[in-house]
């Protein structure tokens, strides 16, 4: 079966509809397992008490935000190189989920930071990069929707995604450099040796977020496809 069969929006539309519920179900199962392990099984941290448990949402959300950006940039690259409509639609569908995870990471990070280090926000490389990542997502969504011609929005936003992909590590390292100079409050993740249950919980939650992200993207891409292809025969037949 040729993979290019699935690059037709009509076929992908049907495929996405049948696959999405499975991913959501998987996400729910993994999340249940992860949250149980994280909140019930994993022991209380010696230094941070119960509040540390927010990392079981914070860390997976942060990892997902970066991973989704990378995937989005890959789709963006594909849409620019091969000029395929579906790749651009997938990139557009990923962006809001990515932005949500970024926001969640920042929010839970602040929530974690306050009781632990006494501050909601610290100017370290990770947090600043995460904030810039949020702006990159918002910029992508804004640019993609800023034109009458949606194809032009696709291509402009795809180019932006690629430029951002290069820029993000540069920002990370420059803020890290800046931190070593300014001796700012360095946020370090305590506990280099993690209890095995903590690690399990984090991995479970990461996979849960990943499955959710796939499910959400598949659902969203279906409405993007409908919107884009609304003048074609197969959509009017729906």
Partner 1 sequence: MSGFAWAFARDLRLAWRHPGETLMVVAFFVLVASLFPLGVGAEPQLLRRIGSGVIWVCALLAAFLSLSSLFASDYLDGTLEQMVLSPRPMIGWTSGKIAAHWAATGLPLTLLSPLLALQYGLDADTVAILALGLALGTPLLSLLGAACSALTLGARGGGVLLALLALPLFVPVLIFGAGAAEAQASGLSAAPHLSLLGAGLIVGAMALPPAACAAIRIALD
Partner 2 sequence: MSAIEATGLACSRGDSRLFRDISFSLAPGEWLAVRGANGSGKTTLLRCVAGLTRLDCGEVKWNGKPVREVASDFRAAMLYAGHAPGIKDELTAAENLRDALALRGTRPDDAVIDDALKAVGLEKHRRIPARRLSAGQRRRIGMARLTLDSASCWILDEPLAALDSQGESMFAGLLATHLQRGGCALIATHHDIGATPPREVRLTP
Residues lying near partner 2 in the complex (CB under 8 A): 83, 148-151, 228-231
Enumerate residues 122-141 that contact partner 1 by CB under 8 A: 128, 132, 135-136, 138-139
Residue 155 Cβ, how far from partner 2 at the closest point, in Å?
9
Interface pick for partner 1 out of 54, 73, 175, 218 (rule CB under 8 A)? 175
> Least distance from C-beta 135 to partner 1, angstroms?
5
165 binds partner 1 (CB under 8 A): no
When asked if residue 181 is in the footprint of partner 1 (CB under 8 A), the reply is yes
CB hemisphere CA count around 125 (13 angstroms) = 16
From candidates 28, 33, 35, 159, binder to partner 1 by CB under 8 A: 159
110 contacts 42 by C-beta, under 8 angstroms: no
Burial of 126 (0-12, 13-18, 19+ CB in 10 A): middle
Whether residue 140 contacts residue 161, with contact meaning beta carbons closer than 8 Å, is answered with: yes
Q: How far is the CB of 148 from partner 2 (least distance, A)?
A: 6
Q: What stretches of the chain show up as alpha helix (H) in DSSP? A: 9-36, 55-82, 85-117, 125-144, 150-182, 196-228, 233-236
DSSP per-residue letters across 120-153: S----HHHHHHHHHHHHHHHHHHHHTSSSSHHHH
> Contact between 22 and partner 1 (CB under 8 A)?
no
Check residue 121 for interaction with partner 1 (CB under 8 A): no
100 vs 157 by CB, closer to partner 2: 157
What minimum distance in Å lies between the beta carbon of 12 and partner 1?
A: 24
Residue 143 corresponds to which tokens in the numbers above? 């640019």
Q: Least CB distance from residue 160 to partner 2, whole Å?
A: 19
CA end-to-end span of the chain, whole Å? 26
Residues forming a β-bridge with 45: 49
Is 230 a binding residue for partner 1 by CB under 8 A? The answer is no
List interacting residues with partner 1 (CB under 8 A): 128, 132, 135-136, 138-139, 142-143, 146-147, 151-152, 155-156, 159-160, 163-164, 167, 170-171, 174-175, 177-178, 181
């Amino acid at each position: 079966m040729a993979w290019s069969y699935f690059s037709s929006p009509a076929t992908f539309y049907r495929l996405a509809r049948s696959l999405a519920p499975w991913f959501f179900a998987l996400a729910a199962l993994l999340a249940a397992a992860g949250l149980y392990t994280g909140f019930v099984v994993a022991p209380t941290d010696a230094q941070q008490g119960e509040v540390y448990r927010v990392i079981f949402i914070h860390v997976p959300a942060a990892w997902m935000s970066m991973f989704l950006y990378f995937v989005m940039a890959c789709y963006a690259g594909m849409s620019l190189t091969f000029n395929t409509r579906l790749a651009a639609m997938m990139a557009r569908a990923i962006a809001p989920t990515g932005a949500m995870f970024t926001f969640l990471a920042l929010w839970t990070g602040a929530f974690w930071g306050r009781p632990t280090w006494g501050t909601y926000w610290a100017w370290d490389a990770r947090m600043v990069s995460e904030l810039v990542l949020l702006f990159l997502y918002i910029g992508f969504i804004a640019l993609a929707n800023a034109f009458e011609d949606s194809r032009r929005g696709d291509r402009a936003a795809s180019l932006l995604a690629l430029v951002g992909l290069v820029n993000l590590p540069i920002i990370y390292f420059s803020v890290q450099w800046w931190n070593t100079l300014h001796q700012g409050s360095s946020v370090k993740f305590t506990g280099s040796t993690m209890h095995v249950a903590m690690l399990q919980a984090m991995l479970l939650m990461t996979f849960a977020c990943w499955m959710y992200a796939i499910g959400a993207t598949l659902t969203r891409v279906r409405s993007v496809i409908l919107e884009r292809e609304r003048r074609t025969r197969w959509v009017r037949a729906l």
